[in-house]
């Protein structure tokens, strides 16, 4: 199963200046799916020699700027610079009203063409628990992140799980089963965060064998200084590091 390539085009938290936003790029059968599209997505792709037309689909886990603010640029440039090209946009049903009505509509609701909807910029595909891209069957799962905002992780069974932003997840071992890679949100700068799992909380909640399978993402710029506290984990993802599964 080496036909799927994964790369985090960024692996930092929302404040990180060195590592870009935690957005995951998948490549399969000549197509590319971007999981989340934060404000650094265009620059991160440019650094990899890619541009907006190289992205064929996007999945959105939740509405925060480091996960969705890049959509404004992707939408406008696809429509007006790249001949009306519409990227397929997978959005969980409960996230959709937050994404358009409370986030993107303010800047994209009107243009030189008049009033717009999200479908004028993207091919919107509403997700109910699962979605299919390029013959791959993805599942989604709810996470706890910010009060009042729905948020989701995404999984390709037997290959990988990506939590996106989350606190620790109950019965996480049963969720990830035998997945080859587990990418988990991590707050490494302290012992508590209301919206992100800390390494100490993960140690308390997850068995040692599970910790050894977890790669940490969404860390801050001082990750190097915290390496001694991360020995229980598989490691932390370097920006642009490729994974084959």
Question: For residue 125, what are the β-bridge partners?
Answer: 90
Global pTM value: 0.97
Tell me what pLDDT residue 2 has: 62
Contact 167, 142 (CB under 8 A): no
pLDDT digits (tens, 9 = 90+) for 14-44: 988 899 999 999 999 999 999 999 999 999 9
Query: Which band of pLDDT confidence, cut at 50, 70 and 90, is reported for residue 53?
Result: very high
**Mean local confidence (pLDDT), 9-14:** 95
Question: For residue 87, what are the β-bridge partners?
Answer: 122
Tell me what pLDDT residue 153 has: 98
**Mean local confidence (pLDDT), 66-83:** 97
In the predicted model, is pLDDT for residue 159 greater than 60? Answer: yes
**Mean local confidence (pLDDT), 198-222:** 97
What ranges do the domains of the chain cover?
A: 4-244
Whose CA is closest to 153, among 90, 177, 144?
144
163 or 189: whose pLDDT is higher?
163
CATH match for 4-244 among 1.10.10.10, 3.60.15.10, 3.40.50.2300, 3.30.200.20? 3.60.15.10
Tell me what pLDDT residue 95 has: 98
204: alpha, beta or left? (left if phi > 0; alpha if psi -120 to 50): alpha
Tell me what pLDDT residue 229 has: 87
Contact 152, 61 (CB under 8 A): yes
In the predicted model, is pLDDT for residue 189 greater than 80? Answer: yes
In the predicted model, is pLDDT for residue 99 greater than 70? Answer: yes
**Mean local confidence (pLDDT), 225-237:** 93
**Mean local confidence (pLDDT), 2-11:** 93
Of 28-32, 138-142, 207-211, 224-228, the poorest mean pLDDT is in: 224-228
Query: Which band of pLDDT confidence, cut at 50, 70 and 90, is reported for residue 100?
Result: very high
Reduced 3-state DSSP string for 209-245: HHHCCEEEECECCCHHHHHHHCCCCCEECCCCCEEEC
């Amino acid at each position: 199963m080496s036909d799927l390539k994964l790369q985090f085009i960024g692996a930092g938290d929302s404040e990180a200046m060195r590592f870009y936003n935690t957005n995951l790029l998948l490549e399969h059968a000549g197509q590319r799916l971007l999981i989340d599209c934060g404000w650094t997505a265009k620059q991160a792709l440019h650094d990899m020699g890619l541009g907006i037309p190289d992205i064929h689909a996007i999945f959105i886990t939740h509405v925060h700027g480091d996960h969705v603010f890049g959509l404004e640029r992707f939408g406008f440039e696809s429509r007006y610079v790249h001949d009306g090209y519409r990227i397929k946009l997978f959005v969980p049903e409960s996230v959709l009203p937050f994404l358009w009505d409370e986030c993107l509509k303010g800047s994209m609701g009107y243009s030189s063409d008049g009033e717009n909807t999200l479908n004028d910029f993207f091919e919107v595909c509403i997700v109910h628990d699962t979605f299919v891209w390029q013959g791959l069957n993805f599942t989604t799962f709810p996470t706890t992140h910010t009060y009042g905002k729905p948020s989701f992780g995404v999984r390709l069974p037997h290959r990988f799980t990506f939590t996106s932003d989350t606190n620790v997840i109950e019965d996480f071992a049963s969720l990830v089963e035998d997945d080859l890679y587990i990418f988990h949100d991590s707050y490494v700068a302290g012992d508590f965060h209301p919206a992100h799992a800390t390494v100490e909380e993960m140690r308390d909640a997850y068995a040692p064998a599970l910790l050894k399978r977890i790669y940490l993402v969404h860390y801050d710029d001082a990750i190097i200084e915290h390496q001694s506290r991360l020995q229980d984990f598989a490691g932390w993802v370097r920006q642009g590091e490729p994974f084959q599964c």
